[in-house]
């Protein structure tokens, strides 16, 4: 057995989360095609492997073996840095998401979470706000007018929707009183109490957050930075081979992360209904030890949060193949004159409800 | 000294010099973002998590995006950069140098809080909850005034974004 002295349990969790984000993003490309085919009444990918399950692998081989092209007059360094930044920022945010409660073996206990910090929500928000750099730098470095237009659209879109997103988060903060995502999750289910998930207390905030999440991940109906009908391919017009792959891939990682954040903030994270009753049933009726019952509940919770995440990912794809794209002025008007005032109203409403003891 | 502190200071100084010396404005902005990251690292070393996160969100995440946005629009490069006369360069060097001198003179004798044993210093003051308590007790009025200012700015932005009556471009 090889000793890995530098690696504790937590590093293993981080590695698993990293691997899972990549795996899920890989199969998102497959799921997107299957769902598109389903919604448009087509067959979809079914050639590579059973049910076309090896399609992502075939795509990866195609991406890696394509010609690597640098446009004339491009800034070579930044042209490569762009997709790297997009991928790095996409992967960074999953570090603070709690994918499960505590696992305990004897005296050792660890969280199914990369790092537990008391600024978890701010970390997510910070990393999300950095996500636009990959798109901006890549679009500028391509030395192409369409790419530049895409980059500039991405910048203004992200800044505009970040404001409403941040303010919808503040309302969650007001009812939870903590920035730690683990604490927020635990508050949504307390043993022996009839505790609601945050979606019940924050329906308006959730809708604002959901719309902003679509805008921040550059998904249809807000995919104006790439918008192929106006800008050829937007910021990634000039990209080829795996550099393009990284851009497309980082979009799916972002969808995964944003789905995880929505599950944690509004849909109870790793909690599922009657978990404490189930644990007590294992302990009292089946004679299990408390630790192993708790571990089983934790694992079931981890499965639960992933089911919630998959549901949100499906929702993202469903919307993509249902709604047409917004026009640019409509996008800006929605962000500044509808979502931001609504978010402010939501903060005031939440404050009033807390003041009068309703929630 | 802490090796992390040395590393962060080294990168901070190097990238700050990069901001000034690089020819391309886009590279300048990127170096400035790197500088903000190292400064956030310093905040973390000083146990000020909230400040570190907010520094990233506001400066690196929002303000520098706007900088980059404007610079990309202007598309500045070496050819279009106006050449300043030698007199302006000398004046700028003298002004900057004297500012440095004043800063060094003002800051060289400062004793940081908590450096002298016996003075009360709360090492947890940088944490979110402690900082919030401090802001909402000792600094309530300035804090509220600042937030009213921000609210006014935000309402102004929304007003500017609103379509005026009769204006129809599409």
CA terminus-to-terminus distance, chain A: 53
Residues from chain A contacting residue B54 (CB–CB below 8 Å): 122
Q: Are the beta carbons of A136 and B68 separated by less than 8 Å?
A: yes
- Domain chopping of chain A, boundaries: 9-355
A3-37 confidence digits (pLDDT tens): 444 456 777 888 888 888 888 888 888 888 888 88
What pLDDT digit, counting tens, does each position of A214-223 carry?
888 888 788 8
| B127 touches B49 (CB < 8 A) | yes
Query: Which of A55-59, A153-157, A198-202, B8-12 is modeled with the greatest confidence?
Result: B8-12
Q: Is the pLDDT of residue B14 over 90?
A: yes
Going by C-beta distance under 8 Å and a sequence separation of 6 or more, which residues neighbour residue B13? none
Q: Given a cut of 90, is residue B100 above it in pLDDT? A: yes
- Whether B72 and A132 lie within 8 Å, measured CB to CB: no
The whole-number pLDDT of residue B86 equals 84
Residue A105 or B152, more confident: B152
The DSSP output letter for B18 is H
ipTM metric:
0.79
Tokens 């802490």 sit at which residue? Answer: B2
The DSSP H or E segment spanning A110 is: strand A108-113
Where in chain B are the domains? 1-81
Whether domain B1-81 has CATH 1.20.120.1200:
yes
**Mean local confidence (pLDDT), B91-114:** 86
* Contact residues on chain B for A133, CB-CB shorter than 8 A: 33, 65, 68
Please report which confidence band the pLDDT of residue A1 belongs to, taking 50, 70 and 90 as the band edges. very low
For the cut 90, the answer to whether the pLDDT of residue B98 exceeds it is yes
Put simply, the answer to whether A159 touches B68 (Cβ < 8 Å) is: no
pLDDT digits (tens, 9 = 90+) for A194-206: 778 888 888 898 9
Identify the pLDDT of residue B120: 65
Helical H segments across chain B, by residue range:
3-21, 25-45, 49-55, 64-74, 86-107, 128-137, 140-161
Give yes or no for a contact between A317 and A32, defined as CB atoms under 8 angstroms apart.
yes
The yes-or-no verdict on residue A40 having pLDDT over 80 is: yes
Distance (Å, whole) CA A21 – CA A254: 9
CB A18 within 8 A of CB A3: no
Interface test with A, best of B68, B153, B169 (most A CBs within 10 A): B68
Residue B118 has pLDDT above 80, yes or no: no
Of residues A166 and A227, more confidently modeled = A166
**CA of A58 to nearest chain B CA: how many angstroms apart?**
36
Distance from CA of B107 to the nearest CA of A (A): 32
Q: What is the pLDDT of residue A5?
A: 42
Query: What pLDDT score does A2 carry?
Result: 44
Cα distances from A123 to residues A87, A92, A115, A304, B70, in angstroms, run 17, 9, 11, 24, 26
A332 in contact with chain B, both atoms CB, cutoff 8 A: yes
Q: Return the bridge partners of B104, or none.
A: none
Q: Measuring CA to CA, how many Å separate A197 from each of A34, A131, A192, A223? A: 31, 29, 15, 30
Distance CA A224, CA A139 (A): 13
Test mutation, A73, A132, A133, chain B, max B CBs within 10 A: A133
Q: Which residue has the higher pLDDT, B108 or B112?
A: B108
A68: nearest Cα among A57, A79, A52: A79
B25-67 pLDDT tens trace: 888 888 999 999 999 998 888 888 888 888 888 888 888 888 8
Q: How far is CA A88 from the centre of its chain?
A: 14
pLDDT at residue A88 is higher than 70: yes
Give the highest mean pLDDT range of A71-75, A184-188, A271-275, A345-349: A345-349
Residue of A nearest to B48 (CA): A119
Q: What are phi and psi of A223, to 5 degrees?
A: -90, 45
- The DSSP element (H or E) to which A99 belongs, if any, is strand A98-105
CB A326 within 8 A of CB A333: no
Q: What is the pLDDT of residues B130-160, one digit of tens each?
A: 888 888 888 899 999 998 998 898 888 878 7
**A102 DSSP β-pair partners:** A111
Residues of B with Cβ-Cβ distance to A333 under 8 angstroms: 161, 163
Q: How confident is the model at residue B102 (pLDDT cuts 50, 70, 90)?
A: very high
Q: How confident is the model over A251-278, as a mean pLDDT?
A: 86
Main-chain phi, psi angles of A102, to 5 degrees: -80, 140
The answer to whether residues B5 and B42 touch, using CB atoms and an 8 Å cutoff, is yes
- Report the alpha-carbon distance of residue A345 to residue A167 in Å, rounded: 10
Angle between the N-to-C axes of helices B25-45 and A132-141, in degrees from 0 to 180, rounded to the nearest 10: 160
Structure tokens at A3: 């000793």
Helices marked H in A142-289: 145-176, 181-187, 198-201, 203-216, 228-231, 241-266, 275-284
Residues of B in contact with A142 (CB under 8 A): none
A290 vs A4, A274, A281, A293, CA distance in Å?
30, 16, 11, 5
What's the gap in Å between the CA of A2 and the closest CA on chain B? 29
> How large is the average pLDDT for residues A150-166?
85
Residue A291's pLDDT band, with cuts at 50, 70 and 90, is confident
Task: Provide the percentage of residues in chain B whose pLDDT is more than 70.
Answer: 82
Question: Tell me, what's the pLDDT at A110?
Answer: 75
CA dist., res. A47 & res. A54, Å (int):
9
Residues on chain B touching A328 (C-beta within 8 angstroms)? none
- pLDDT score for B119: 61
């Amino acid at each position: 057995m090889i000793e890995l002295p530098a690696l504790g349990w937590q590093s293993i969790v981080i590695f698993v989360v990293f691997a899972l984000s990549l795996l899920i993003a890989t199969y998102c490309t497959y799921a997107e095609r299957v769902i598109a085919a389903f919604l448009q009444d087509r067959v979809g990918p079914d050639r590579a492997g059973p049910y076309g399950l090896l399609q992502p692998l075939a795509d990866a081989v195609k991406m890696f073996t394509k010609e690597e092209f640098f446009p004339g007059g491009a800034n070579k360094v930044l042209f490569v840095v762009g997709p790297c930044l997009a991928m790095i920022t996409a992967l960074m945010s999953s570090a603070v998401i709690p994918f499960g409660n505590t696992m305990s073996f004897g005296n050792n206990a660890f969280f199914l979470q990369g790092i537990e910090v008391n600024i978890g929500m701010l970390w997510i928000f910070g990393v999300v706000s950095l996500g636009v750099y990959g798109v901006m730098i890549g679009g500028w470095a391509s030395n192409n007018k369409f790419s530049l237009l895409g980059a500039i659209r991405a910048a203004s879109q992200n800044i505009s929707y970040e404001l409403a997103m941040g303010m919808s988060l503040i309302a969650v903060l007001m009812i939870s009183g903590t920035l730690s995502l683990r604490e927020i999750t635990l508050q949504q289910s307390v043993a022996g109490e009839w505790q609601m998930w945050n979606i019940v207390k924050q329906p308006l905030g959730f809708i604002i957050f959901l719309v902003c999440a679509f805008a921040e991940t550059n998904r249809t109906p807000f995919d104006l930075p790439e918008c192929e009908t106006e800008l050829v391919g937007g910021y990634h017009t000039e990209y080829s081979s795996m550099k393009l792959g990284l851009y497309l891939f980082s979009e799916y990682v972002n969808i995964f992360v944003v789905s995880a954040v929505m599950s944690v903030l509004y849909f109870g994270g790793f909690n599922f209904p009657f978990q404490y009753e189930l644990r007590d049933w294992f302990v009292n009726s089946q004679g299990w030890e408390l630790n192993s019952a708790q571990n089983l509940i934790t694992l079931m919770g981890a499965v639960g949060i992933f089911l919630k995440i998959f549901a949100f990912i499906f929702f993202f794809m469903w919307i993509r193949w249902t709604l047409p794209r917004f026009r640019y002025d409509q996008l800006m008007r929605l962000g500044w004159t509808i979502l931001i005032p609504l978010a402010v109203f939501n903060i005031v409403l939440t404050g009033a409800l807390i003041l009068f003891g309703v929630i | 000294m802490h090796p992390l502190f040395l590393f962060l200071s080294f990168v901070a100084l190097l990238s700050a010099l990069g901001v000034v010396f690089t020819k391309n404005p886009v590279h300048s902005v990127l170096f400035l973002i790197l500088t903000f990251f190292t400064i956030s690292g310093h905040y973390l070393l000083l146990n000020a998590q909230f400040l570190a996160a907010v520094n990233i969100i506001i400066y690196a995440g929002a303000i520098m995006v706007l900088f980059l946005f404007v610079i990309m629009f202007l598309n500045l490069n070496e050819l279009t950069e106006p050449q300043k006369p030698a007199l302006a360069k000398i004046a700028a060097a003298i002004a900057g140098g004297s500012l440095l001198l004043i800063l060094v003179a003002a800051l060289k004798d400062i004793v940081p809080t908590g450096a002298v044993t016996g003075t009360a210093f709360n090492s947890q003051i940088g944490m979110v909850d402690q900082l919030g308590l401090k802001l909402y007790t000792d600094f309530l009025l300035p804090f509220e005034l600042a937030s009213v200012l921000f609210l006014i700015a935000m309402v102004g932005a929304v007003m500017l974004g609103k379509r005026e009556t009769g204006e129809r471009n599409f």
